[in-house]
Amino acid sequence: MLLTYANQLTILRMVFVPCFVILLVYGCPRAATVVFLLAALTDGLDGLIARKLNQRTPLGSFLDPMADKLLLTAAFIALTLHPAGGDMRIPAWLTILTISRDVVIAVSVLVIHMQTGHSSFPPSILGKCTTAMQLLMVGVCLLAGFEMGAAQTLFPCAVYATLLVTVASGLHYFYRAVKIISSYQSQSPVQNPDAKD
């Protein structure tokens, strides 16, 4: 089956990830910013095209969040090690926290699926807010390559807002996971230990 236009845009976003990192590492922050903005644009376009042309596919529902996570994780790591302007880096502790949250969520989803067969995990509002704040965090760091003063003003707010929603969404996903498992256990037949074969 041929890839839909929406899926092609999602794959293009994945291709932009190494381009962004290479440009940033080799001292081209402005070009890296342009690539990041193009990648962010494909994120909006693929969803719009999928809805307008009725091109929603299982592959797309898998690739789209994966592309988002690849882009944001790569951006956080790169901007922790290589600032776009001055010495404005994403704090290492925030990058570690962000990646740890994603790993814990991914492992939890896998465990729930293996134990219960549950396969529907729609993103929560807090999850969407976390993605938006992480994008803003990257944007503020990239802004330092153009306007250091504005970036320095926005930086502390972006750091602590990202911290707040990351922790809140992580706790919320944990609550949802516990609720799904509890619901599954309550519906499962209780085995009588005294029952005989």
Q: For the chain, what percentages of helix, strand and coil (3-state, to nearest 5) are there?
A: 80, 0, 20
Task: State the DSSP code for 188.
Answer: S
Residue 121's pLDDT is what?
A: 66
List, for residues 72-126, the tens digit of each pLDDT value: 999 999 999 988 877 889 999 999 999 998 888 888 777 777 777 666 666 678 8
DSSP string, 55-119: ---HHHHHHHHHHHHHHHHHHHHHHHHS-SSTT----HHHHHHHHHHHHHHHHHHHHHHHHH---
| Amino acid code (one letter) for 185 | Q
Write the CB contacts of 21 (distance below 8 Å, at least 6 apart in sequence).
32, 74, 78
Task: Note the pLDDT tens digit of each residue in 11-68.
Answer: 888 999 999 999 999 989 899 999 999 988 887 777 777 777 776 776 667 777 888 8
Q: Give me the sign of the Cα torsion angle 88, 135, 129, 169.
A: negative
First to last CA, the chain: 49
* Global confidence as pTM: 0.82
CB 64 within 8 A of CB 10: yes
Count of beta carbons in the 10 Å neighbourhood of residue 1: 6
Q: 193: pLDDT confidence band, cut at 50, 70 and 90?
A: very low
Higher pLDDT, 156 or 190: 156
Looking at residue 33, what is its pLDDT? 92
At residue 86, what are phi and psi to the nearest 5 degrees?
60, -130
Note the pLDDT of residue 192: 47
User: pLDDT value at position 195?
Assistant: 47
